[in-house]
Structure 1
Amino acid sequence: MADTPPGSPKPKAKEKRPAPPQNQKIYKGVKKRQQKKMRKKERDMKNGSTEQVLAFDIRDLRNSLNESENDADGTPVVSEEEKESLLPELGTEILVKVVELSSTGDALALQEGGQSKQIYLVPFAVPGDIVKVKVYRHVHDEGYTLANFISVVEPAPTRDDARVRCGYFSKCSGCQFQMLDYGEQLRVKRRIVEKAFRNFSNLPPELIPAIQETIGSPLQYGYRTKLTPHFDGPPGFLRRNASKRAAFKERPDIGFMMKGKRTTMDIEDCPIGTDAVRAGMKAERERMAYEFGKYERGATILLRESTSRVPKDGFEFAGVPIGAVKVEADTYVDWKTCITDNNARSTEYVKDYVFHNLANEFFQNNNSILPVFTDYIRQHILPARRPESIKYLIDAYSGSGLFTITLSSLFQRSTGIDISDRSIEFARTNAEANNLSESQANFIAADAGQLFHSVRYDPDETVVVLDPPRKGCDADFLAQLLRFGPRRVVYVSCNVHTQARDVGLLVRGETGSSTSSAADASNKVNEKGTRYEIESLRGFDFFPQTGHVEGVAVLNRIDSAGVR
């Protein structure tokens, strides 16, 4: 995500300086070459980026295709020069047949009737589809071509467009799986986890257990409790010159990015949002129809669901906000509203647990799956053998305390830690709201890289929960974790590729950089010899209709004598 909202003015340009002396020019030339070398090194890192994930999928498919392209003696049937000449010109419309889905959610396809085995990256298609596409870029270095989806010429047996509930499907950049049966979506996400650990963990297959079936979301639509539509600045707005202001003449397009374009698409309704969020989206669009003149640049609109829960045997809830959505259960009524103020406080319930957060801060955006998800973590946080041997919980990257609070009753003491002071303040508020004492749920504001300097638990009696951001764990933190050596680790991640990379380091017992290539990280074994084995791997579908999958890895420490 960008550091500044769309349309934000850039700092004023600095005054021109005189040309640097010759030695400074040489220095700048050396520095430029060093930066270029660093960029190449970064490309070699297993950082779990979309480009790198796609590169593995392209490589694997290309390897399988090359076997059929070569003669018996390995000589290519079609030369590289001939392949290049067979590529269609940019802007050409062609037919392609989809071979498989990539881990990014886009399809990998081959041209129908074409002599070249060029791979085409196509959105909104599934294996077996024959689709018409428009070629817009050849990525020569990586050996594939980008194409825009136009239409389905011959649908695959697994494709059923009657399942699609969104009028913006195949244009909006989100929700590319709506044509698939939900069971098939879950199978696709299981394969994504499998490929992540095959490509990013640097582990032999025998050390990676079979990936369990993906746990589905109770809601496949109407599940998102947070959406952030946006609008661009007015026509003629110049970021580089803040003194020149343009004005909106009418309400701007409000919505999300179009697939393959840097253009905001006007979207009236988003069916994956909860009823409260969708009502909020409608209200914000109506407000902007009257207030667009107040804006001189683009902005992002926050839509966050918040819940007020009232027991059925209590007093009638007074002052129900206009537009509140009523959700009735056996013993209580939830009134759900949509917050648009970044600094307001939102409230969510996970079963009987209550969580307050700053509306714009991170909290899981699919409340319907959270009871299932937290129950799973609760069932697997302790070992099956001698569960009583684990007495302490450390919740790294704890945020506002989801795991610390929902797991606290299983331990003598629990500690959550997060780098954000504000998150820790809310975590303490949430512990109090759930009637937990400080000894049951303690929270510390500190860099996770310094975690074990703040907590003094016996590692043989401790389990650590990790839930880092998409980039994965910091290298220093992983080294520190291996030095501490907790008996058990449960690693939760919204990016199964960086999760696989980090789990690979823990299994090998390496203290090298978590973002280094396999060659750089090899042989950097921690001084204690601590390493782990993978007990289980499983995906959770927090975002139905998309290619995203949440991963849970459960690890056990292997002592130097091989004792678990």
Structure 2
Amino acid sequence: MSRSPDSQAPEAKKRKKTKADKSKKADGFDEVLQIDIDKLLKKSREEKGQNGEPVEAAARPTLPQPFTEIELKISELSSTGDGLALSENGDHVYVVPFSVPGDTVLVKVVKHFPDLSYSMADFIKVIEPGPQRNDSLIGCGYFGKCSGCQLQMLPYEDQLAHKKKIVEKAYANFSGLIPELIPPIGDTFPSPLQYGYRTKLTPHFTVAGGAGRGKKKDREPPKEVPPIGYTIKNRRMDMDIEDCPLGTDIVRRGLKRERKRVAENLHQFPRGATLLMRESTTRIKKGEESDRNAEQEKMIKEALSGIPPQDLEDVIRTEHPDYIEEKRCITDNNATSIEYVDNYIFKNKAGAFFQNNNSILSGFTEYIRQHVRPKTTNPDDKPIKYLLDAYSGSGLFTVTLSPLFKSSLGVDVAGDSITAARENAHANALPNTGFAAADATTLFKDIPYPPDQTLLVIDPPRKGCSDDFLRQLLAYGPRRVVYVSCNVHTQARDVGVMVQGDAEGKCRYEIESIRGFDFFPQTGHVEGVAILNKVSGAAAAAPAVSSEA
């Protein structure tokens, strides 16, 4: 896959060649973090008149001993959500969690990576807060130790601005495209809820000695309840989390119930476990039911019949004008959960993937509906009539977009997801919608839709699309593409390939818009939506990058 030589900082490019074995975080190498570190060091050297060149090894700063406490001034916030602080001479970076630019903080040095010019540090306390810091906003007693959140001390407007910058840097550093080919990044779409939004929590625990080689019956049952929660930042240890304010009300109640169950039945977990708390919502309609409501009621009854008794009894009820809403917390991975997006109903295995912030889904899917068709069209262009949804899962996009199309097809590798998607389409009365269980890397082989009338929606895993998938996409050449991603860095890489086009110069794309969506407030994560149009005619053969790039 071709890349612009200027797509990454010089130090990062060198390390990609010489530090290929550093691709694992355990070795202290995270490419996204490393680029931020290298650019901060380059800026520091330029300010000192060193032309941005790294110092020789012999001139590197003397680093404090591990576990030494030192004071640092935070320079900037990285794309990982960690603060970055320069050493006194400006030739080394300290990565400090739970900090913001302008903070003066006391930290404990944890580990050095001298070849990568940075060190990891534990946050201890703020000595002097920066102008953006507001600790009164912190809504969790575990913040500052738990690895789950990074930004609770940052005003929400600043969180959104930071996430816009994350998307901007992702496309600047990973797309391989010259700036002229990347449109201005849109403002981050906010989440209606900043706390109490997560519909799924998966805390875990391990039992001391539980990973031994002895048979289960030979192991002594644990004598004490281990910490049940999440990993401590910069540690390979778990911390006990009694409550998580990011979870919805019913999920938080489910967490308390599950913690009690584990404590009372610890002998059943000789190695530990990962727990599941998944919100499931049902609506009891008022008045006469339509055929569509009848199908939904059938789905709801089947789902409720498979919920464990302890999950079934704990209910939060809310009355609305047309229905009574009931929320339960499911703890069985194989039970069925129910979720609504506006008036669309979705069933899914409780342990399977579905977006974990329901509060943003209405605005998110409406945004995509509004961008189904291009802003401008040529008189000779045929209308877009068909929807192809790759990585369709249980049908979020296929179902919510289908009414806009003559025919829709969702494809996913997971057979269980396809089964759920078909039932979801039926429950939502969408006869023009089909689903096929197939590997997304071969989904273009037998597509019945003419590409010049097709919208392709792709929502791949964090690793992004494979090279083979992108080659097939360019060979098929759908008229318009909506690329949704939970990893804007791999998204930027893939979008760069689409913009540069195929080797034959027959198909390439232009970016219409890019925007981040805040699915996970208080964290450094941002979801990205990129919208692209196929370039037609002679312009398709035009170079996607300049000869100087």
Q: Could you say whether these structures have the same fold, taking a TM-score greater than 0.5 normalized by the shorter chain as the test?
A: yes
1:389 to 2:387 alignment: no
- CA change 1:232–1:430 in 2 (3 A) is same
- Output the CA distance in 2 between the equivalents of 1:323 and 1:96: 48
SS in 2 for 1:452: coil
- TM-score after normalising by structure 1: 0.85
Aligned match of 2:68: 92
- CA change 1:370–1:126 in 2 (3 A) is same
SS in 2 for 1:214: strand
Letter in 2 for 1:160: N
Letter in 2 for 1:407: L
Aligned match of 2:337: 346
- CA change 1:411–1:251 in 2 (3 A) is same
Which residues of 2 match residues 389-468 of structure 1 at below 5 A? 389-437=383-431, 440-468=432-460
1:253 to 2:253 alignment: no
SS in 2 for 1:269: coil
Aligned match of 2:491: 499
Letter in 2 for 1:457: Y
Aligned match of 2:86: 110
Aligned match of 2:13: none
- CA change 1:456–1:50 in 2 (3 A) is farther
SS in 1 for 2:136: helix
Aligned match of 1:62: 41
Structure 1 position 436, deviation (Å): 1.2
Structure 1 position 311, deviation (Å): 2.1
Q: Deviations over 1:525-544 (max 9, x none)?
A: 1x352000000000000000
Counting matched residue pairs gives 502
Indicate conservation of the 8 Å contact 1:529/1:560, yes or no.
no
1:160 to 2:139 alignment: no
- CA change 1:381–1:50 in 2 (3 A) is farther
- Output the CA distance in 1 between the equivalents of 2:150 and 2:484: 24
Instruction: Point out where structure 1 has 5 or more consecutive residues left out of the alignment.
Output: 1-36, 511-524
Letter in 1 for 2:41: R
Work out which of the residue numbers 517, 527, 530 in structure 2 matches 1:550: 527
Indicate conservation of the 8 Å contact 2:43/2:52, yes or no.
no
SS in 2 for 1:213: strand
Aligned match of 2:177: 203
Aligned match of 1:239: 212
- CA change 1:80–1:536 in 2 (3 A) is same
SS in 2 for 1:480: helix
Structure 1 position 142, deviation (Å): 0.9
SS in 2 for 1:326: strand
Cα-Cα RMSD: 2.5
1:83 to 2:60 alignment: yes
Which residues of 2 match residues 143-542 of structure 1 at below 5 A? 143-233=117-207, 235-242=208-215, 245-313=219-287, 321-386=312-377, 389-437=383-431, 440-510=432-502, 525=503, 527=504, 529-542=506-519
- Output the CA distance in 1 between the equivalents of 2:65 and 2:21: 32
Aligned match of 2:3: none
Letter in 1 for 2:39: D
Please say which of residues 380-389 and 220-229 is displaced more in the overlay.
Answer: 380-389
- Identical pairs, percent: 55
Letter in 1 for 2:47: S
- Output the CA distance in 1 between the equivalents of 2:152 and 2:535: 43
Letter in 2 for 1:431: A
- TM-score after normalising by structure 2: 0.87
Letter in 2 for 1:334: E
Indicate conservation of the 8 Å contact 2:277/2:330, yes or no.
yes
- CA change 1:90–1:333 in 2 (3 A) is same
- Output the CA distance in 1 between the equivalents of 2:360 and 2:68: 44
SS in 2 for 1:253: coil
SS in 2 for 1:542: coil
Letter in 1 for 2:248: T
Letter in 2 for 1:311: K
Q: Deviations over 1:417-474 (max 9, x none)?
A: 001111100000100110111xx11101111111111312111111100100000011
- CA change 1:292–1:506 in 2 (3 A) is same
